[in-house]
Amino acid sequence: MPDLHDVAELAAANGHLAVISTIRADGTVQASLVNAGVSTHPKTGRKVLALVTGGRVKLVNYAAAPRPQ
């Protein structure tokens, strides 16, 4: 399984663009192009994968059905 170092290298090589897939309420997949990279979490100080989206739909879908870490 890739770790954050692998993700950071892949993001840098691809202009920090990534595809994120979330599950809609009806069970279908929503895939979108987003800006992504490794950042420091403001509360915990841990390195995390951060993404920038143009809307809330992906975040709402993710919050409804988060994947285990």
Strands (E), 1-69: 17-23, 29-40, 47-52
Q: How confident is the model at residue 58 (pLDDT cuts 50, 70, 90)?
A: low
Let me know if residue 30 belongs to a domain: yes
Spatial distance between the Cα atoms of 46 and 29, rounded to a whole number of angstroms: 29
Number of domains the chain is built from: 1
pTM of the complete model? 0.62
Let me know if residue 69 belongs to a domain: no
Is pLDDT above 80 for 33?
yes
Spatial distance between the Cα atoms of 62 and 55, rounded to a whole number of angstroms: 13
Residue pointed to by tokens 């420091």: 40
Full residue range of the structural domain in which residue 43 is found: 4-64
Q: Mean pLDDT score of the chain, rounded to an integer?
A: 83
- Which pLDDT score is estimated for 39? 93
Let me know if residue 58 belongs to a domain: yes
